[in-house]
Chains A and B, each alone.
Chain A
Amino acid sequence: MPRRLPETQVALLEAASATDARTVEQLADELGEPPQAVTRAALELEAEGLLAVEERADERVTLTDEGNGYVGSGLPERRLYDAAVEAGAEGSPVPLGDVIDASGIDGPAVDVALANFARKGFGEIDAGEVLVSDDPRVDPTEDPGAAALSAVEAGETDSLDEATLDRLEERGLVRRTSSTVRSVTVTDEGVTALMEGVETAETVGGITPELLTSGEWRDVEFTEYNVEADAETTYGGRKHVLRQTADRVKDVLVGMGFREMEGPHADAEFWINDCLFMPQDHPARTHWDQFALDVPPMQELPEDLVERVRSAHREGVGEDGDGYHSPWTEDVARGVDLRGHTTSLSMRYLSGHAVGDLEPPQRYFSVEKVYRNDTLDPTHLLEFFQIEGWVMAEELSVRDLMGTFTEFYRQFGITDLEFKPHYNPYTEPSFELFGTHPETGEIVEIGNSGIFREEVLRPLGVECDVMAWGLALERLLMLMYGFEDIRDVHGTLCDLDLLRTTEAVY
């Protein structure tokens, strides 16, 4: 049965000789195929055992463009010499400028000429004048360099000595390349195959239903692709990196037993600030920090809760507790703002107004947007995501707080958490959390935490302990991904290319 081989292989096998080694180049020329295709066919036939392929290294010397130019007009130092002799520089110096003009060399060739003129001892150049050498050993007409260039052009490189070639290569006049030359001969097995007959196998561009159902696919060869070539860029759908980070955080928190909270972005100052025991004249409650909305005051607030909160602000909580020496009015409490933190959700949940009264133990979280009237810059946005979480239990200590947050941050590779005693109006004790940036090694603030004050909890009707913490999701994102300008990522100024090419972090 005749052998089926791809077209190029058949042609090559038939063109090759069993006795004379022929180079791939010669054969490619003869077959009218690109040398790469013939080389590939030769190697495949070798693998089949039908051809023997012999390789040898071949060194070739060719002229560069500059070298080629000098073959016609002569080496520039030679032209300079000739012009100098013409100008009478044998015996007495003549001005260099005149000689250069007369030689007809210009541009970078002038420097080349002057350097080699001196190096080869053709003469001296001093104080702008040139004097040709009278040394009888110097004979520019017999310069081996010039002769070598002509030899290279003629393809007669075998006779040239290495030193001359090296020098010409250094001057960038010749280029030496080595390549592999493959010669092929038909093997005995190949001769047998040829005698038994070889046929060209059909090549097809792709699979068709007919090809598959008819079984013809068994007899075809598929057109080969250049599998190393670049493919078209596809981006595909992708979750936003900040969402991915939020998902990561949510996964971790759910794993730690936290339930997710949900609530309004626009809310009464009562829930945002008053419940948090923020005095109404607190600097952070001015329009400089929070966005007030141009809507009527909140219609309904739970009246008994309002009264208890007012009392906490004015009189304090507990036997010898003190309130603030700040004004407190319900009008201010009813003003509607964009929430400056999602602690407003915690207040709604703790008060029982979100999902009913809560009995300890409880853990709740949210990863949601908050709004601050801050300066827009590479690390600050007017709206960003806040991670908010709290734990409610009969008794909680600072050690529990430290243990919880140590565990949380460890999930993100931050293992050297530091707790700096801090002040918040709504927690006591309070701690700022610091950790080491995994990339830069600098100590950065990564959160704010504490145990809710009784002035917060008692009005809400909570009689046990609650500890809470918050941090900006964007801060965590920048730590994880090393972004420098958060505005490239979050918001309408984002750069699609950055979002498309950011490496996945998991």
Chain B
Amino acid sequence: MPVVDVDPDELRRLTGHDEKSDEELREDLFALGLEYEGRTEDGEFQLEFAPDRLDRLSVEGVARSLRYQYGDDRGVYVPNTNSAEWVVEVDESVPEERPYVTAAVVRGLDMSEAKLESLIQLQEKLHATMGRKRAKGAIGVHDLTMLKGRAARSAAGDTSGARSASSDDPRERAARSNGDGGSRAKTITYRGVEPEGDRFVPLESDTDMTPAEVLVDHPTGRTYAPIVEDYSRYPAIYDEIGLFSFPPVINGKRTEVDEGSRDLLIEMTGTDQWTIDRMLNIVCYALDARGGRIEEVRVEYPDRETVRPDLSTDRKSVTHERIESIMGIAIDPDEVLDLFERSGLDATTEESGDEELVYRADVPPYRVDVLHALDLVDDVGRAYGFNDLEPRYPDVSTVGGRHERSRLEDAARDALVGLGFEDLLDFHMISEIENYERMNLDSGGEAFGASEGVTITEPYSEDYTMLRTWALPSLAMVLERNTHRAYPQDLAEIGLAARREDDENTGVAEARHVAAVLARTDASYEDAKSRLAALCRAFGVDLETPATAHPSFIRGRVAEVVLDGESVGVVGELHPEVLVEHDLEVPVAAFEFRLDALGGG
């Protein structure tokens, strides 16, 4: 779950509540569902929260939610936007894997170090969540004054590009070339670039590189290379001067934002238009809270044209009856309207055709989590305070009971415990080495336990690479691990074993196995068989033990377990090879068979 670092002083400043103590803030945040995890070295709160309210990934967003909670703000707020001066043109050459782009301009910012840090954190957290580690959406923030817009084909009349520059300061020079003529559109282009195409100087570097070189030679490039390395052309954004951004990998150094930056271009590229548009909205709201003025950007695809950011509200409906039934209380419609406003939504009531009271709610454009009427109920409930509801035991009558399989398992376990076995509980995941090799067994043979196992595609470690095909290897591992503990060690386990089986719908045949070991100085085949027989008697199952061969057991001291005529397991004395392999210095008699055989059909 995302963790956001939030400076409590910034929070007090942005909410306008200087009087709140850290303790009070923590309680208010908990009520929002933000869990206090601790502090950073700089004394910032580390807040963990569930990834629904991604608009709270910054101190500005958290402060906005608190202001609604305090009742300082009510209803939907939508920032004003100035009309577009900049255009993002989408070229036909743009990689088909990453066709979407969106952008906004924000002017008049006074970037302090704290504000800049907050922006960078917001960008990172959005990348990690909505952006799916930049694969789905990636954000680029640029110092606008460092960009030189091309006079657009769509700009009315004026085609003049750069003026001659006399200053050596590139920021000043670019600013002059952009700063005049309000109506003149300035164009940047989102397009594809050959891997070994144009060179640029990426962030945190001093040399110019091709995009392909960035993926190999730049640490950030290496991190994000997997997203683009299979593309035939890489995504790139150009202004009049040249390539300045290589999304989703890295920006160019030329447009790097610092504390002196006042005007920003925010662009986002990705695989889904809605996703990057919402990410952009969240960033715009955060910068608006910092006093920035949002300016629209025109996005021109080859076949359509849009204006971004799209700060229109969304409308969702919910019935009064649904709100009452979910909350379990009777509530006045006026109070519901008030609760909507305190959640940052605007709602009106309407009697629908069948005289049902319905709320029509406007949802602000930074919300990404309102998909359905129930999400509105949740907002109302949170604003009401779910914890103020009185718990009640539901007046619903049902009859309880255990599943037959688990009753059988329990009865077998009780019988084993009655026979003196210590009941164990081992992992179902194991390694090939433990499952086969250390049991002196080859994979794929006929012997019990030797069937082909189900392997895990990307295991956690080499100790857990497959599902065990039988349970005795687990018990042998427990014996190995406990040679310093008192003997006798009579251990048993009833648990899952699985093997590859094409006839199964999942390709996996699952079964519960009963396994037992008797590790003691005088353990013999007879000890194992007598207990096995006792177990079978208890379940009224007929036991036969025809001799067999099994590499895990001593030849001549091993038999098949045949229950009611079906061969379902093995019983015998473990082979010295297996004992020595597990550092055991006592004989071990053992048996294992399929639990369902005790069920007697």
Contacts and interface: CB of A to CB of B under 8 A. Distances in A.
B422 interface: yes
A202 to B, nearest CB: 35
A490 B50 CA distance: 29
Contact of A239 (B329, B370, B406, B417): B417
A418 B429 contact: no
Contacts of B272: 325-326
Given A264-B510, A266-B498, A423-B33, A287 B458 contact: yes
Interface in B376-416: 377-378, 381-382, 386-387, 389-394, 396-403, 405-406, 410, 413-414, 416
B417 A260 contact: no
Given A294-B457, A397-B328, A496-B478, A260 B399 contact: no
A453 interface: yes
A428 to B, nearest CB: 5
A149 B317 CA distance: 104
B156 interface: no
Interface residues of A, number: 101
Contacts of B70: none
A461 B592 CA distance: 42
Interface string A317-333: 11111111110000000
Contact of A421 (B275, B386, B399, B485): B386
Contact of A253 (B400, B413, B454): B400
A365 B253 CA distance: 57
Contacts of B52: 423
Given A240-B424, A260-B406, A492-B426, A428 B394 contact: no
B239 to A, nearest CB: 29
A293 B457 contact: yes
A264 B429 CA distance: 15
A454 B372 contact: yes
Contact of B506 (A247, A266, A325, A383): A266
B486 A316 contact: no
Interface in B12-28: none
A242 interface: yes
B369 interface: yes
Interface in A350-380: 361-363, 369, 371, 373, 376
Contact of B399 (A237, A257, A336, A495): A257
Contacts of A299: 505, 507
A259 B402 CA distance: 6
A128 interface: no
Given A240-B425, A316-B372, A398 B381 contact: yes
A258 B398 CA distance: 7
B536 interface: no
Given A260-B402, A320-B316, A362-B398, A293 B455 contact: yes
A86 interface: no
B428 interface: yes
Contacts of B398: 257-259, 361-363
Interface string B353-372: 00000000000000001111
B423 A240 contact: yes
Nearest to B317: A320
B124 to A, nearest CB: 15
A278 to B, nearest CB: 12
Contacts of B410: 247
Interface string B123-144: 0000001001000100000000
B389 A264 contact: no
B534 to A, nearest CB: 12
A260 B407 CA distance: 10
Nearest to B375: A428
Contacts of B275: 325
Contacts of B394: 391, 393, 396, 400, 403-404
A237 B325 contact: no
B548 interface: no
Residue of B129, B371, B418, B508 ringed by the most chain A CB atoms within 10 A: B371
B420 A236 contact: yes
Contacts of A326: 136, 272
A56 interface: no
B428 A369 contact: yes
Nearest to A399: B328
Contacts of A260: 401-403, 406
B419 interface: yes
B389 A402 contact: yes
Given A243-B425, A336-B507, A369-B428, A403 B372 contact: no
Interface string A285-322: 00100011111101110000000000000001111111
A403 B393 contact: yes
Contacts of A240: 422-425
A420 interface: yes
Contacts of B393: 400, 403-404, 406-407
A125 interface: no
B315 to A, nearest CB: 7
B55 interface: no
A497 interface: yes
A369 to B, nearest CB: 7
B371 A243 contact: no
A320 B428 CA distance: 45
Contacts of A10: none
A334 B62 CA distance: 39
A400 B136 CA distance: 39
B372 A322 contact: yes
B114 interface: no
B35 interface: yes
Contact of B400 (A258, A395, A418): A258
10 contacts: A235-B486, A292-B456, A383-B428, A399-B391, A400-B396, A406-B393, A420-B30, A422-B50, A423-B33, A497-B485
Given A240-B422, A454-B373, 15 more contacts: A250-B402, A250-B406, A260-B403, A291-B460, A298-B505, A376-B460, A382-B427, A393-B394, A404-B394, A406-B391, A421-B378, A423-B52, A429-B378, A455-B371, A492-B481
Interface of A: 233, 235-240, 242-243, 247, 250, 253-262, 264-268, 281, 283, 287, 291-296, 298-300, 316-326, 336, 338, 361-363, 369, 371, 373, 376, 381-383, 391, 393, 395-400, 402-404, 406-407, 418-424, 428-431, 451, 453-455, 465, 489-497, 499-500
Interface of B: 30, 33, 35, 50-53, 129, 132, 136, 272, 274-275, 315-317, 325-329, 369-375, 377-378, 381-382, 386-387, 389-394, 396-403, 405-406, 410, 413-414, 416-429, 454-461, 464, 467, 474, 477-478, 481-482, 485-486, 489-491, 496, 498, 500, 502, 505-508, 510
